[in-house]
């Protein structure tokens, strides 16, 4: 809850480099009646924006890829989630049939996938029963069902591509029957049959297509049955729906659509804490994530506690960048584990430095190099552009600070020696032996909007002589879980006005975490930007705030000042421990799109009441008619959800009476982008 605005005195709050004295930015209180705020934009006082200001950040958290962006529908497809049991797989059989399923380590596809699922069909009925299409007469079918990541999504007129590795034994001479069916087995949505499984490991593929009249549901399972006595060993059972750009082993189209609409300019991956894990085995090791998917061993995700099949590997991250025209910002493991173990600089760190060099070679090397050749073999002969590599993640945590200078320096010298053009990002400021190209700053504003609003001015007076900043993770939290609500979005938007005004210094930014599977048990970290279940997805309110900022962003930053800034006293009752504080309630930034002849003026009104403001533009003529994009809702806790995916979304309306000077009332609890046409 936001307390009502303080009726005091006018507050004067200056934003922008042109009007700031050396003392920097601070609220000034005057013993006068409050005057209407004035937002001044000076088009003659401009500096270049950052073309990379808005990006996205991602890692395997909250089932972001497993059961998320990576379109695979089968959970525990390689049977490695548990050493004891085939988790998420269950025995399915006809009433008259007999059989068992077990994990079998004596039979396996290869060294990467050291365990198989063994189906023993011990039915005694004679001979194979043919699957008779629409009206089967099954008697001795035995097999397994997989319930997917909180359900298998069934949609009408949809083609699903199934594949599995299998080996037959003990006289198995039947077929493998595949079906998508309701959880109780009563309704079959699609089916296929694979015959001729041999006594050697082979890959088998089939297509299952639903009919046009199927009702969408996630209450479905994937079933794989043997129809005669004998043994069938299975490895890597996979099921893919259609993917973005029809890429094999590809990504979920609805989530990619949401991302594409943000127009992100870079992707920071693969973490986050996911880079680090708790041990060499549970960190992200790119070498285990390339090559054919059935030769990737997967790994236990040391950061977030569940198994990663690593179908979402380095090449998939890179093609994701390619598909959305994003610059890759690749983080490499730098010796710090989450459990505080550190690999010190020196010979012990050298293999990890070499890993980083190999990863860079995989991304950028020509096909004559070892890792460039591997990339070509994996299906992508053309090298990718790579400008940014981050050394580690949050190395101030877990006692990492005192060793980071030496660790960073070891990576820096080795990478710069081979790739002088690559810009290296340090995760903390205390690097003194060499000069990082950028510092990655992270901040979670976890006390309603107090700290986010305070942070909105933190870069107005920052020293421009040091490295540039990538704001690699931010979010206003303390919301109504699971995804960000309007109150959080207001905090984020206020903060983003500060980044826009200071885009010469903070050149890149990204919200985190990006994704959340909203099913109970999937969440590692509320609050998140995009939510989904098996069937559908939605952008949070912060998603729409970010989209308003990133899709209305020019090439030039215009000096923007607010006079008579209204303030209010906020308490921390929406979560977090920040002290109650008097903070600004109106925020603004402006950029100019030279080619389009537009000025985007962004204004955030955090108050629970409408805020009239006078807008004055200097150095430019403005047409009388423009547009306004407005994001608001009745309550700070209003949020989008699976049930109401567009409850709080921006609305575009005509804006009239514009010019060099005009007045406008900004709705309570709102983010506004005014699209001004220059004459």
Binds ligand AHR (CB under 6 A): choice among 240, 471, 511, 525? 525
Task: Pick the closer one to ligand AHR by CB: 394 or 437.
Answer: 394
Task: Pick the closer one to ligand AHR by CB: 339 or 665.
Answer: 339
Task: Pick the closer one to ligand AHR by CB: 272 or 277.
Answer: 272
Q: Which stretch binds ligand AHR (CB under 6 A): 91-99, 270-278, 331-339, 491-499?
A: 270-278
Q: Answer yes or no whether residue 492 interacts with ligand AHR by CB under 6 A.
A: no
Cβ of residue 271: shortest distance to ligand AHR, in angstroms? 5
Question: How many whole angstroms from its chain centre is CA 102?
Answer: 36
C-alpha dihedral (302, 304, 310, 314), degrees to nearest 10: -90
Task: Pick the closer one to ligand AHR by CB: 271 or 491.
Answer: 271
Task: Pick the closer one to ligand AHR by CB: 71 or 514.
Answer: 514
Whole-angstrom distance, CA of residue 530 vs CA of residue 568: 30
The phi, psi pair for 575, rounded to 5°, reads 110, 155
Whole-angstrom distance, CA of residue 415 vs CA of residue 361: 11
Hey, which residues between 504 and 523 contact ligand AHR (CB under 6 A)? 512-513
Cβ of residue 510: shortest distance to ligand AHR, in angstroms? 10
Task: Pick the closer one to ligand AHR by CB: 131 or 473.
Answer: 473
Task: Pick the closer one to ligand AHR by CB: 59 or 72.
Answer: 59
Q: Of 107, 102, 213, nearest to 158 (Cα)?
A: 213
- Of all residues in the shown chain, the one whose CB is closest to ligand AHR is 272
Binds ligand AHR (CB under 6 A): choice among 271, 277, 313, 487? 271
Task: Pick the closer one to ligand AHR by CB: 459 or 474.
Answer: 474
Interaction pattern, residues 199-238, with ligand AHR; x per rule: CB under 6 A: ----------------------------------------
Cβ of residue 57: shortest distance to ligand AHR, in angstroms? 7
H or E segment and range at residue 355: helix 350-364
Radius of gyration from C-alpha coordinates of the chain: 28
Binds ligand AHR (CB under 6 A): choice among 94, 359, 394, 492? 394
What is the SS3 string spanning 179-215? Answer: EEEECCCCCEEEEEEECCCCCCCEEEEEEEECCCCCC
Q: Where are the beta strands (DSSP E) in 467-577?
A: 468-476, 506-511, 515-517, 530-532, 537-539, 556-563, 567-570
Q: Of 474, 615, 599, nearest to 546 (Cα)?
A: 474
CB 600 within 8 A of CB 558: no
Whole-angstrom distance, CA of residue 38 vs CA of residue 35: 9
Strand partners, 670: 605, 632
**Total binding residues toward ligand AHR, as defined by CB under 6 A:** 12
Binds ligand AHR (CB under 6 A): choice among 58, 163, 273, 560? 273
H or E segment and range at residue 361: helix 350-364
The number of C-alpha atoms within 13 Å of 579 and in the hemisphere containing its C-beta is: 2
Task: Pick the closer one to ligand AHR by CB: 198 or 430.
Answer: 430
Hey, which residues between 173 and 202 contact ligand AHR (CB under 6 A)? none
Binds ligand AHR (CB under 6 A): choice among 158, 289, 308, 393? 393
Whole-angstrom distance, CA of residue 469 vs CA of residue 25: 20
Task: Pick the closer one to ligand AHR by CB: 525 or 553.
Answer: 525
Task: Pick the closer one to ligand AHR by CB: 121 or 393.
Answer: 393
Cβ of residue 307: shortest distance to ligand AHR, in angstroms? 17
Cβ of residue 338: shortest distance to ligand AHR, in angstroms? 9
CB proximity list for 149: less than 8 A, separation 6 or greater: 63, 66, 67, 68, 73, 75, 517, 519, 534
CB 166 within 8 A of CB 205: no
C-alpha dihedral (578, 580, 585, 589), degrees to nearest 10: -30
Task: Pick the closer one to ligand AHR by CB: 181 or 285.
Answer: 285
Q: Of 406, 500, 425, nearest to 468 (Cα)?
A: 425
Cβ of residue 512: shortest distance to ligand AHR, in angstroms? 4
Whole-angstrom distance, CA of residue 389 vs CA of residue 357: 11
Task: Pick the closer one to ligand AHR by CB: 40 or 442.
Answer: 442
Task: Pick the closer one to ligand AHR by CB: 174 or 271.
Answer: 271
Interaction pattern, residues 563-602, with ligand AHR; x per rule: CB under 6 A: ----------------------------------------
Task: Pick the closer one to ligand AHR by CB: 61 or 97.
Answer: 61
Q: Where does residue 105 rank: exposed (0-12), middle (13-18), buried (19+ CB within 10 A)?
A: exposed
Interaction pattern, residues 136-165, with ligand AHR; x per rule: CB under 6 A: ------------------------------
Q: Answer yes or no whether residue 372 interacts with ligand AHR by CB under 6 A.
A: no
Helices (H), 459-594: 486-501, 541-550
Look-up of token digits 């919301």: 479
Whole-angstrom distance, CA of residue 10 vs CA of residue 298: 60
Question: What are 316's two structure tokens?
Answer: 């998939």
Cβ of residue 276: shortest distance to ligand AHR, in angstroms? 9
Whole-angstrom distance, CA of residue 657 vs CA of residue 668: 21
Interaction pattern, residues 281-320, with ligand AHR; x per rule: CB under 6 A: ----------------------------------------
Cβ of residue 470: shortest distance to ligand AHR, in angstroms? 13
Cβ of residue 403: shortest distance to ligand AHR, in angstroms? 18
Cβ of residue 550: shortest distance to ligand AHR, in angstroms? 19
Q: Answer yes or no whether residue 473 interacts with ligand AHR by CB under 6 A.
A: yes
Whole-angstrom distance, CA of residue 375 vs CA of residue 365: 9
Interaction pattern, residues 420-459, with ligand AHR; x per rule: CB under 6 A: ----------------------x-----------------
Q: Answer yes or no whether residue 59 interacts with ligand AHR by CB under 6 A.
A: yes
Task: Pick the closer one to ligand AHR by CB: 383 or 472.
Answer: 472
Question: What are 208's two structure tokens?
Answer: 């299952």
What is the SS3 string spanning 365-434? Answer: CCCCCHHHHHHHHCCCCCCCCCCEEEECCCCCHHHCHHHHHHHHHHHHHHHHHHCCCCEEEECCCCCCCC
Q: Answer yes or no whether residue 395 interacts with ligand AHR by CB under 6 A.
A: no
Q: Which stretch binds ligand AHR (CB under 6 A): 113-121, 271-279, 360-368, 609-617?
A: 271-279
Handedness of CA 561, 567, 573, 579 (dihedral sign): positive
Q: Which stretch binds ligand AHR (CB under 6 A): 44-52, 268-276, 330-338, 654-662?
A: 268-276
Binds ligand AHR (CB under 6 A): choice among 272, 335, 482, 554? 272
Cβ of residue 279: shortest distance to ligand AHR, in angstroms? 17
Handedness of CA 514, 517, 523, 529 (dihedral sign): positive
Q: Which residues bind ligand AHR (CB under 6 A)?
A: 59, 61, 271-273, 393-394, 442, 473, 512-513, 525
């Amino acid at each position: 809850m936001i307390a009502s605005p303080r009726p005091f005195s006018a507050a004067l709050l200056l934003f922008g480099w042109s009007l700031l004295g050396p003392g920097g930015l601070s609220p000034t209180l005057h013993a006068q009646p409050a005057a209407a705020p004035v937002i001044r934009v000076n088009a003659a006082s401009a500096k270049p924006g950052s073309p990379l200001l808005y990006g996205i950040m991602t890692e395997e958290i909250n089932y972001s890829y497993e059961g998320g962006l990576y379109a695979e529908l089968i959970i525990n497809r390689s049977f490695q989630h548990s050493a004891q049991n085939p988790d998420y797989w269950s025995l399915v059989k006809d009433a008259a049939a007999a059989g068992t399923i077990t994990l079998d380590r004596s039979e396996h596809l290869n060294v990467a996938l050291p365990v198989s699922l063994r189906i023993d069909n011990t039915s005694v009925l004679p001979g194979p029963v043919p699957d008779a299409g629409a009206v089967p007469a099954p008697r001795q079918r035995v097999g397994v069902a997989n319930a997917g990541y909180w359900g298998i999504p069934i949609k009408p007129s949809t083609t699903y591509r199934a594949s599995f590795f299998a080996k037959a034994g003990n006289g198995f001479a039947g077929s493998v029957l595949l079906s998508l069916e309701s959880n109780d087995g009563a309704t079959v949505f699609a089916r296929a049959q694979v015959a001729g499984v041999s006594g050697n490991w082979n890959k088998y593929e089939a297509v299952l297509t639903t009919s046009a009249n199927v009702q969408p549901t996630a209450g479905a399972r994937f079933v794989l049955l043997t129809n005669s006595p004998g043994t069938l060993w299975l490895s890597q059972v996979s099921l893919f729906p259609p993917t973005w750009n029809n890429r094999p082993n590809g990504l979920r189209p609805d989530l990619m659509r949401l991302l594409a609409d943000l127009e992100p300019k870079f992707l920071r991956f693969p973490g986050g804490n996911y880079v680090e894990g708790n041990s060499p085995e549970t960190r992200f090791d790119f070498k285990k994530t390339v090559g054919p998917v059935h030769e990737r061993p997967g790994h236990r995700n040391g950061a977030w506690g569940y198994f990663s099949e690593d179908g979402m590997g380095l090449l998939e991250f890179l093609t994701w960048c390619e598909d959305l025209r994003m610059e890759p910002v690749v983080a490499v493991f730098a010796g710090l584990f989450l459990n505080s173990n550190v690999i010190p600089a020196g010979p012990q760190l050298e293999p990890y430095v070499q890993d980083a060099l190999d990863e860079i070679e995989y991304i950028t090397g020509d096909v004559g190099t070892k890792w460039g050749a591997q990339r070509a073999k994996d299906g992508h002969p053309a090298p990718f552009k790579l400008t940014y590599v981050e050394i580690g993640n949050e190395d101030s945590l877990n006692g990492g600070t005192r060793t980071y200078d030496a660790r960073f320096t070891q990576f820096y010298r080795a990478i710069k020696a081979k790739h002088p053009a690559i810009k290296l990002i340090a995760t903390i400021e205390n690097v003194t032996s060499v000069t990082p190209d950028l510092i990655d700053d992270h901040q979670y504003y976890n006390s309603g909007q107090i700290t986010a609003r305070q942070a909105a001015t933190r870069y107005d007076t920052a020293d421009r002589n040091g490295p540039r900043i990538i704001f690699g993770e931010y979010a206003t939290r303390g919301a109504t879980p699971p995804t960000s609500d309007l109150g959080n979005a207001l905090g984020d938007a206020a903060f983003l006005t500060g980044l826009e005004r200071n885009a010469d210094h903070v050149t890149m930014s990204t919200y985190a975490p990006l994704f959340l599977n909203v099913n109970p048990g999937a969440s590692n970290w509320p609050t998140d930007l995009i939510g989904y279940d098996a069937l559908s997805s939605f952008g949070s309110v912060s998603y729409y705030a970010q989209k308003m900022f990133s899709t209305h962003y020019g090439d030039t930053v215009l000096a923007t000042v607010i006079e008579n800034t209204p303030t209010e006293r906020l308490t921390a009752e929406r979560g977090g421990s920040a002290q109650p504080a008097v903070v600004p309630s109106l925020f603004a930034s402006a950029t100019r799109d030279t080619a389009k002849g537009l000025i985007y003026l962004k204004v955030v009104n955090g108050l629970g009441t409408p805020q009239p403001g006078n807008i004055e533009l200097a150095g430019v003529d403005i047409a009388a008619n423009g547009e306004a994009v407005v994001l608001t809702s009745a309550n700070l806790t209003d949020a989008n959800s699976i049930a109401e995916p567009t409850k709080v979304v921006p609305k575009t309306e005509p804006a009239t009476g514009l010019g060099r000077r005009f007045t406008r009332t900004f709705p309570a609890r709102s983010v506004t982008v005014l699209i001004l046409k220059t004459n």
